[in-house]
Amino acid sequence: MKIIRALEEFHDTQSPVILAAGCFDGLHIGHAAVIKKAIERARAVGGEAWVFTFDPHPAKVLMPDRAPPLIFTTNQQSSHLQAMGVDGCILQPFTVDFMKQEPEAFFENLCNRIPALAGISVGEDWSFGRNRAGNAELLTKLCTERGMFFSAHPQVCWKGERVSSTRIREAIKLGHMADAIGMLGRPVSTIGTVEHGKKIGRVLGYPTANIAPENDMLPPRGIYAAKLRVGQAAYPAAAYIGHRGTFHENEPQVLEVYLLDETGVDLYGQHVEVSYIEYIRGDQVFEDAEKLKQQIVVDIAAIRKALAN
């Protein structure tokens, strides 16, 4: 998949371009519907499906002190877009000047920078341009005038309510992994690099990989049934998020992962992804290491059962 860092960098193509536009944090099932519509149309006309999104997220610019934590990193987003079959992604810098464009000027800029633009797909509630004055109704008019394909996908629901990144963040915050997975269409995940830790897990007989997370947000502290992905390989695992209170006081929060089955793989320095399948229990402080080891046995049995299901 091609990735460009600004609309101005787009190189003309002879193939028709169908553009899916939106913020797409988390690439949830509503976002996926918008993007799949663009892919379907692109394949039907022998063209290319591109995604137009923003980096940084508009909220980081508009309200930096109150911006919500993002579900995905840009790297995660790009990886999942490629897996979906997207041909290219425009990561448009979101700036104060950019947001001052009138909606019609924004549309004209798209058409000028992408001469082969043949269609646009958005969610029905997407807004754009100065004061968010642009909407699906205006885009319908503008695309029709140019003879372009246009799709405004209706909202997608989960358990009777509209799926949104905000709703997913709340589910993650509460540890409701099943709801988050249902709305995302995949497990919540964290990417990061494996670093050397204090070897506490090794002393207990359960060596763990200490991961420096790159994501804005993590699920609540506790134990999770998880999968650890390294390259193309995925391993069943136990994930721990917490402060290791049994051994330390006021230690910074850590993310540790224990592989359930010995693999012999050297994880140090590796870039990995942890997918949280099911919340098992909250973080606890135990009287001593022996009590903790007894609980680990119980946790691993619960994790194996969760992963089997």
The answer to whether position 176 is within a domain reads: no
Tokens of 257: 């992962």
> Based on the domain organization, do 76 and 212 belong to the same domain?
no
> Based on the domain organization, do 233 and 290 belong to the same domain?
yes
The answer to whether position 46 is within a domain reads: yes
> Based on the domain organization, do 144 and 191 belong to the same domain?
no
Question: Pick from 202, 216, 7: which is nearest to 95 by CA?
Answer: 7
**Average pLDDT of span 144-166:** 97
> Based on the domain organization, do 137 and 208 belong to the same domain?
no
> Which DSSP helix (H) or strand (E) runs through 202?
helix 200-204
Q: Are strands 271-282 and 254-259 parallel, antiparallel or unpaired?
A: unpaired
CATH number at residue 150: 3.40.50.620
> Based on the domain organization, do 15 and 139 belong to the same domain?
yes
The answer to whether position 285 is within a domain reads: yes
> Based on the domain organization, do 128 and 258 belong to the same domain?
no
Confidence at 258, pLDDT banded by 50, 70, 90: very high
CB within 8 Å of 139: residues ≥ 6 apart: 107, 120, 122, 150, 152
pLDDT at 36 over 70: yes
Range of weakest confidence among 56-65, 213-222, 229-238, 259-268: 259-268
User: Rounded to two decimals, what is the model's pTM?
Assistant: 0.92
Give the highest mean pLDDT range of 8-12, 88-92, 205-209, 286-290. 88-92
> Based on the domain organization, do 241 and 99 belong to the same domain?
no
> Based on the domain organization, do 9 and 133 belong to the same domain?
yes
As a 3-state breakdown, the chain gives helix, strand, coil percent values, each rounded to 5, of 35, 30, 40
E-assigned strands of the chain?
A: 2-4, 17-21, 48-54, 88-92, 117-123, 149-153, 157-158, 161-162, 188-195, 209-213, 222-230, 233-242, 254-259, 271-282
Residue that terminates a domain, selected from 132, 155, 178: 155
Number of domains in the chain: 2
> Based on the domain organization, do 35 and 146 belong to the same domain?
yes
Residues 120 and 34: their CA atoms lie apart, in Å, by 10
Task: Report the chain's mean pLDDT, rounded to a whole number.
Answer: 93
> Based on the domain organization, do 25 and 146 belong to the same domain?
yes
CATH number at residue 281: 2.40.30.30
The answer to whether position 167 is within a domain reads: no
The answer to whether position 180 is within a domain reads: no
**Residue 13's pLDDT is what?**
86
Which residues form the domain of 119?
Answer: 2-155
> Based on the domain organization, do 234 and 118 belong to the same domain?
no
pLDDT digits (tens, 9 = 90+) for 279-293: 999 999 888 888 889
